[in-house]
Structure 1
């Protein structure tokens, strides 16, 4: 080998060594950037009030969600109750379909009599606590007349709530093949409801925000169906993380489990400690078939409560530097102050307070008079500037706080607008004169 070739080989070896040396720390940094390892096909964790994502894994991938589907059924029921379209004491008598499903002992169910009368309240509790499938279908029929029509309502509501990766095919989350050949029209026997972990977090957030009373029921560890009657039966909650159950975790007060052959072990939880409410979702958790979803959820909750606390970034009614006002067209005032509608707090990692900066997103650059006091003009969120991995926020619809107008601005009358026009005209002339004269020297 001649000296020239030897030098070339040595140079190549040096460059290769340099590249490997540079890449090795990067690989370690990338691995270190994931704070926890959740053993599931997909997972996400958020702080509820701000929508701040604390952990995410394959969160945008649409996957089967099993009985967590019932969270949408519960949302639509609580909405119907709130709007007066359905009443808690309203009664329902099972049709052939609901009766047949209720007698299937291979599914989670409370047996219903064919000639029985059941209140909406009873069916709701059976659905939310025991994940009773026939009870969920019964509620669908109460609200929409049929499960087929109810599925349309589910998908429409999902879109309205801001979900983007979803497909609801029944009211229960069962695989359609388990519905005795009577699955909703327009769906096939081999389908089941599929939603991304991120969308499930959005649904959970809206459910407990819009109807916090859901937690009064979802937090019941065990109760009885039709207590004191011949049909009395125990209804234990499948959420084993509730107080008094085998996987008890301090602060957990909801929300919904789910499992099918294709979905695996799934769980949407929510827990609150020290003024911070966290929502977690795991899809197809691995490990022990009975406790795997709770083990993986515990990892996320431990990480959240051990490392984060709520910090107020801006108080209610405060202006944000660089965005204190917004222009107003044809108003008595040419601009109006904008402030936070409510206090803006986010979960901040311990010792990391200085790495969070305010981020303002305005709906438009200027407003047209008249402008009402308290009119929404944008959103205030926050960006992270530190070295740790940042997952951002859940979505623009549920993240941060609104920025609103501080005062009202009436529309200017014709005289004011005319005088402004004249002033602008002469201001323009004067500016031209100044520019011309300046050019002489």
Structure 2
């Protein structure tokens, strides 16, 4: 059954770049030097040779760390190979050049089928910043009803890192679970994360559960130290794993609501009359809410952004154009420009929508460990049922909704309801219809 989507999805198709700029796995500075690298890039995009390109040369800049020589191959052999991986068919648009895509690691994939359209060092284990909150939500969100109230104790807010992002939670005041999750997703509030962790048995318990959830999702690059993504020794994830967390989370209706909410009211202090005031909060995901130098991305539907000293900028987003839904994750752009992570993510989404039918997949996002061994081989359940992985993936929903999603959009900075649609997706992992700027339910 074909899908329709009523939100504005005006096409912003990318300009095809010359092959020499399309598939370099290195930095812009290195890629501009020397004829051999440009020639190799051209051959890679033409399909005559495989990326990555001249791995030793492409990371010659001593200021930029090289990816590990060995990385995980979950999702396919090319997912563990350093450099840019892309397999264009004739007529495929070129990837944006290395001066545009400066991130150390990125991946763009089909959110439903899991096919990876292109990637660069997707299993490179890097600091995740607040994108790790997707795993936190994946783990904790199903445990508490959204109307449950919690009175915050001083101990709930203990252990937050210096300079943590906050939504403004106050001790000895009550908040609903719904309020707390808005604080997590919109303001990336570590105070909201620690409050929910306290409700869940404490930080130590929550971290252990997050690590177990990552294991269940085949996210083997991830090591959790803090539940909020704050920089900590040994805390790492990867662009591949962050995409798995987003894809799993999007199966949950509440996750979809929170990650796609552009703005909301948050409870404040009590006034002299004893009544609670409220204040407005806006989503810090700039492809969703926009900024003075960047517009909301057409068809954006979440998911989560982050920024710390160790991680630089990180971002995972999902967007829809027509009946196509794409996931993109970008980690640590080398450019130190305002909103750079979002700009690079938007370029990858533009390319992905233009190239989706014109490239061969170079890997796939795997399902949970209970259904998928991560290698591309038929999993145990599939062997018993005689089904293939794509059929099994179609069963892989965490909330059993079957994929109904309300599509909403943003117009002139105000939240505007555009439409609702349900659809069926056969032989693929179902995702709900695209969402932008959802008005929160109170």
TM-score > 0.5 by shorter chain: yes
Paired residues of 1:243 and 1:252 also in contact (CA < 8 A): no
Give the aligned partner of residue 173 of structure 1.
229
Q: C-alpha offsets along residues 309-345 of structure 1, whole Å, 9 cap, x if unaligned?
A: xxxxxxxxxxxxxxxxxxxxxxxxxxxxxxxxxxxxx
Paired residues of 1:169 and 1:193 also in contact (CA < 8 A): yes
What are the within-5 Å matches in structure 2 for residues 270-289 of structure 1?
A: 270-289=318-337
Give the aligned partner of residue 299 of structure 1.
347
Q: How far has the Cα of 1:240 moved from its partner?
A: 0.8
Give the aligned partner of residue 141 of structure 2.
78
Which secondary structure state, in structure 2, belongs to the residue aligned with residue 232 of structure 1?
strand
Give the aligned partner of residue 46 of structure 1.
109
Q: CA RMSD in A?
A: 3.5
Give the aligned partner of residue 42 of structure 2.
28
Quote the Cα distance in structure 2 between the aligned partners of 1:94 and 1:377. 51
Paired residues of 2:379 and 2:389 also in contact (CA < 8 A): no
Unaligned 5+ runs, structure 2 = 1-34, 48-85, 87-93, 272-276, 362-375, 398-425, 429-442
Give the aligned partner of residue 219 of structure 2.
163
Give the aligned partner of residue 312 of structure 2.
264
2:206 is the alignment partner of 1:206: no
TM-score under structure 2 length normalisation: 0.59
- Structure with max Cα Rg: 1
Q: C-alpha offsets along residues 58-104 of structure 1, whole Å, 9 cap, x if unaligned?
A: 10111100001111111123322xxxxx2222222223343457897
Paired residues of 2:313 and 2:332 also in contact (CA < 8 A): yes
Q: How far has the Cα of 1:365 moved from its partner?
A: 13
Quote the Cα distance in structure 1 between the aligned partners of 2:245 and 2:161. 30
Quote the Cα distance in structure 2 between the aligned partners of 1:363 and 1:229. 55
Quote the Cα distance in structure 2 between the aligned partners of 1:59 and 1:111. 35
Paired residues of 1:102 and 1:109 also in contact (CA < 8 A): no
- The structure richer in strand per residue is 1
What are the within-5 Å matches in structure 2 for residues 118-133 of structure 1?
A: 118-133=175-190
Which secondary structure state, in structure 1, belongs to the residue aligned with residue 126 of structure 2?
strand
Which secondary structure state, in structure 1, belongs to the residue aligned with residue 44 of structure 2?
helix
- The structure richer in helix per residue is 1
Paired residues of 2:131 and 2:304 also in contact (CA < 8 A): yes
2:299 is the alignment partner of 1:239: no
What are the within-5 Å matches in structure 2 for residues 3-402 of structure 1?
A: 28-30=42-44, 35-36=94-95, 37=97, 38-80=101-143, 86-99=144-157, 106-143=163-200, 145-176=201-232, 191=233, 193-209=235-251, 211-226=252-267, 230=271, 232-242=278-288, 245=291, 246-308=294-356, 348-349=357-358, 362=378, 376-380=385-389, 401=427
Paired residues of 1:73 and 1:140 also in contact (CA < 8 A): no
Unaligned 5+ runs, structure 1 = 1-20, 81-85, 177-190, 309-347, 354-359, 368-374, 383-393, 403-441
Quote the Cα distance in structure 2 between the aligned partners of 1:129 and 1:64. 21
TM-score under structure 1 length normalisation: 0.59
Decide whether aligned partners of structure 1 residues 273 and 229 sit closer, same or farther in structure 2, where only a CA change above 3 A counts.
farther
Which secondary structure state, in structure 2, belongs to the residue aligned with residue 141 of structure 1?
helix
Q: How far has the Cα of 1:361 moved from its partner?
A: 5.8
Decide whether aligned partners of structure 1 residues 95 and 56 sit closer, same or farther in structure 2, where only a CA change above 3 A counts.
same
Which secondary structure state, in structure 2, belongs to the residue aligned with residue 242 of structure 1?
helix
Decide whether aligned partners of structure 1 residues 103 and 43 sit closer, same or farther in structure 2, where only a CA change above 3 A counts.
closer
More contact order relative to length (CA 8 Å, sep ≥ 6): 2
Quote the Cα distance in structure 1 between the aligned partners of 2:286 and 2:37. 44
Give the aligned partner of residue 28 of structure 2.
none
